Every structure is written in C-alpha cells, then in structure tokens.
Structure 1
Amino acid sequence: MPKLSKRVVEGAEPQSTDYVIWDDELPGFGLRVFKSGKRSYLIQYRSAGRSRRYSIGVHGVWTPELARKEAKIQLGRVAQGDNPAEERQLDHKAVTVKELCELYLKDFEAGLILGKGGRPKKSTTLVTDTGRIHRHIIPLIGTRRVKDLVKADVNKVLKDIMAGKTRASVKTKKLRGRANVRGGVGTATRTVGLLGGILTYAVEAGIIEHNPAHGIRKPKDNVRNRRLTEAEYRTLGEMLEEAAKDEKYAITV
C-alpha cells in the first residue's frame, strides 16, 4: 500500500466499481475512488465491535496533507472512545432535500462542485441548476429527508415533471416580470439528472451511503441536430435583445 501523496491520489484511475486505496503510514486512513472518477478521503475504524467509515471530504477541496491531519484528529477521538461516524449520522438523519440543495448551491458558488474534466462547474450552470432546484425539486420533495429517499421517489419526480405538476407562473426579480415554468420530457430528464448529481454529492459528503437515483431510466432528451444559420443567429440575437428591454419577460429553463 502506498502513502497517499498528491501523485498517488491524482494518478488513481476509476474502475467499474468504487474502491479504496489505504495509506501505508496511517492505519485506517484511505482514499475512496468512485467509478465516476471523483476521489474522497476517509477513515475506517472499529467501534463496539463494528467496522465504521467516516468521510473526510472530496479531493480538490481537501489536499492529502490536510486530510491526513483530519484523519489523525478523528482517529484520536476514536482512541478516546468517540464514534465520529455515528455522531455525523445522527446529525444527518434530519437533513431534508431542501437543506441538501442549499448546501450544494453554497458549495457550487464557492467553486467546490466539480464538473467534467475535474474543473469547477461554470457560473452559467449555477443559474440553470438554481432554477431547476427551486422550481421543480424543492416543490416536489423538498421536505423529504434525504436518507429516506428510494428509487421510486426519484422516479416519481421524473413522472411528475413530465406530467407538468410543477407548471407555474412565478415572479422574477425584474419589475412586473413573470417566468412561465413548464414541465415536459426534456425538463424532467435534465432535472432528474441534476438531482442525481446532488445525491452523489450527498454520498461524498457522508450524508447517505447509496444514490437512489442510480439506475433510473430517463427518456431521451429531444436533441436537435440542425444548427442555426448565420442569419438565424442574427435574428435570434435581435429578438433576445428586444425581449431583454421588456421587463415583463424572462428566460426560463
């Protein structure tokens, strides 16, 4: 087993299933490599005859050095009879989907949510994610406890959005502005994809052990292959520019 250095951590390749690389200098300290490619530091220890795991945090937010220091602190608490995993579990039992979404958006704004290529998600994505969270996810399951969610709940979110149950006319920040929120197949597919990402975030944060959105069959989004011509792009730009001057309109997702 190698020492968990930056070279080892960043060189760890994802496999078909999650796996753990254990540190050879600090027993119980390891790196969980998700099949998605994300990496998270953890400790494993025994308490009351049971093996327990405690998630420290995601690589990128945590460096190997800082994670090692935190591991020593938590393992020191274990040696004194504490059970950090159980304490965290008790704290997380009451976490609702709404509270989880707020934590996700807070970390997103801080640049801690990674997208493709391991780079922070773009600020433009924050706008669309926020809209989908507040207009679809929270109205449907915001009061539910995260730990209680099962695959059937996520599937119901998909079907409810497809059926237009979250359709509404909401007020925007613009004076007299309104936004028409619509459902449909495309919105449902993208929103449940986002929900799956948020639940993966919850797994990596140690709030839940498994993602109930995994394996959900989503309808294909209506992707169009034809590109606009140069003239059509100019026309679209002129229309958007005119619409922006009218405070009654807002662009929605």
Structure 2
Amino acid sequence: MARASITKRTVDAAKPGLKDSFLWDDDVAGFGLKVTPSGGRIYIYQYRIARPGHAERTTMKRFTIGKHGNLTPDQARKRAKELAVMVEQGIDPRQRELDAFAAADEAKQRAEEQARRDTDLAFENVAARWLAEYELGHRPRSYGQAALVVNKHLMPKLASKPLPSIGRADLQDILDGIPARQAATRRTVYAYASIFFGWAFQRGDIAENPLQAMAKPQAPKARDRALADQELATIWKATTDLRQPLSTFYRVLLLTGQRREEVAGMNWAELDRSTATWTIPADRAKNGVAHIVPLASTVVAELDRLALAVQVREKSDNQDARNWPKAGPVMSFTGKVALSCYSQAKAALDAEIAKVLAKAGDEPMAHWRVHDLRRTLATGFQRLGIRFEVTEATLNHVSGAKGGIAGVYQRHDWKEEKRAALDAWARHVQAIVHPADASNIVKIGIVQKSA
C-alpha cells in the first residue's frame, strides 16, 4: 500500500487507475485518500472496532470524511485524529453516523407526521367534515344552529389549532366570552361543541371529549311573558305600515301561534286555500312531526294580499288574490329567498310600535320577544276556555297531553277543535283591534282539562 504524508502536493499528484487506489498517511494511522477511476479524491479513515458482545474480536470499517476540495488535507487529518480518539474510547464512528442518520430520518418522519396531523386535525378542517356529515342527518334548523356555533363562536378561537391540543381551558374561555345575559347562547354553544367533540372522540381523533369534564352552563330563566290584549292590538296596528312580507309575517305569527322559523319558511306548496289549511312538513317542524294548521279567514285574507302582490310583481294577466302561487317562499321580498332577517325585521316592527304608542301618548311597550306571541296565543286559548289538549295540538307540542303513553294511544288529531280554536282566537284579536266589534268574541264551550 502506498504511504506518504497526505498534503496538497501528494493529493494533486495522485493519479486514477482502473480501480480505486489508496494513499495512506504516514503520520496518522488509518487516515487515507481514496482515488476513484473517475478521478474523485475522497478522504477516509479506516479503523478496527470490537464487535458487539465479542470484545476479543474486531471488525474493519471505513468512515468517509469528505471530498477533496470541500476539505483541505489538514482539515481532513484533523477530523481523522478526532475519529481516532472516538475509536480509542470504544465508540464506532460509522455506527454513530448511521445512528445519527436514522435519528434524523425518524425526526423528519415525526415532523412530517406532526405537520400532516396538525393539518388534517386542525379544528377548521375537522369541523368542516363534521358539518358536512351533520347536515345529512339533521333538520335544516338544527344544522343551521350547528354551523352558527362553529363559525361564530368556535372558529375564531380554534381555527388552526389541532384538535388533540384543544383543552377545557380553550373551551371555557369561549363560553366565558359569551355575555352572562345570553345564557341560552352559552347552553347552545356548549351543547353543539359537546356533540362535535363527542363525534371526534368516537372517530379516534382525540383521546377524550373535553366537554365531559366541564360544568354545563346554567339554563336561562324561563320566559313567561304573555302579551296583554292592548299590547296585541298595538302590535297589530304597528304592522300596518310595515313593508311586505313583514306585515303579514307578524300577523300570521300572532294569529296561528306557530314558530318563527316555520312561518318564515312557509311555502305556497304547503298551503291549500280551498280547505284553508297549512301543512308544515316534518322536515321543517321543530319536533320533526308534520303539522296541519287550520287557517282562520283573517289569515287567508292576509295570504291573499301576498298572493296578489306576487301576481303584480310578476305582471300576471289574470290578477286574482284567490289564485295562490303553486310554489315558492311565501314570506319573501323577492319571491326567491325565504325571510331570514329576523333581527332587522323585529327592529322595524319595534320602531313602528314606538310610533303608534307615541301618537296615542302612551308609555313605551315593555321588552318582548317574538316567541311571546306563541305563549300569548296559548294563554289566550286558556282564557277562551279551550282544552289543554287542543292547545298542545295547535302548537304541535309532543309533550303534556300528547307525551308518553297518552301519545302512543291517543291518535285523535283535534282537527276540528283546532280550527274552532284558531277561528275564535282570530275573532278575539279582531275584537281587541277594533273594539266596536267586541260582540264578536265567542267563548268556546269546551272545558280545559289538565294533562
């Protein structure tokens, strides 16, 4: 084997052959230069190391220090001396290098897996998958609530945060950020967040549902406001100057006692003028039960107004209020999209109420909610002597008289009783709006029973 002091001169003088050739340094044992047939010059360190578990037996190994050009002979020699010290200490440089490569590769894989995990399990991505799945098996109202909770309350704080790293403190901070007076909103956010994290837990995305260890927000106080007759009369008068369909929207709410979203989503296809009925399909009813609502003549007249407005808007040649459209949203400004601007609509109505009261020199009306109209109808039915079962049937409540065993065996639909009750209520409303016609109030002779 050729030996010489490895210097720049001896390295430059080394000639390639038909196979790898070596020049070994005569100063540092094991330090050498490998010259490849292509002319490559590579500094190496050759050493013997004891085999694992066999201290008396050794193995020859080579460690590549680096290429000439990237390293000078002196830099390579210094590195060879460092490697020699490691061998004397029983450390295998080659194995250490392989271990370092393996560790680096493992760390890279972990980093890539973590990055993938952080992306796939980012709240915004998992929430999008959950909402898409939730929409398929739930009513539009429930899905709308779920989407509102995710987009308005959870997304701003959790958007890019990986699901496994979201804890109770994160969620408690979100709940605490909702004003205490909005107790119902806190409960709703808690409920849908719990459903979402429970779904993620069942899929294996998280180890536990953090909501299970949290205290459920307190329920809001029961709303027990029922509007007085004079307040009902004021609301009715205030709707006179509201633009359509808001005027009819609030009058139908007042006269039928149905839920806000159900009236707002009313479709002409659900209405039958010949029988004066409105059929709310199961997928639009809050409790998932289809519901037939008899329409008093006052309600029919209100819908006639909207039907005529549709004909005028569409420039129909045969304009007749009795010809209701076959389909399309009833409560709509354009005829294409159902009414949904509840806050703005209520603000507009409240402004008109203030005008009516100011003109009469009366005190401002106490705070009220649209849902109070539904409770007011139920209270009004009681005052008119209408049976509890009829009230429940009119409001489409699957509780009380229709719940439990009674609900299984009681199949009477109270169709005629509901119509009589709603007709009586419409007459009562008209009587308080127009006191001169108070003689039209008729008390139904059906004694109310407890459930």
Band the TM-score falls in, shorter-chain normalisation: 0.3 to 0.5
Considering only CA atoms, is the larger Rg found in Structure 1 or Structure 2?
2
Larger helix percent? 2
TM-score by length of 2: 0.21
TM-score by length of 1: 0.36
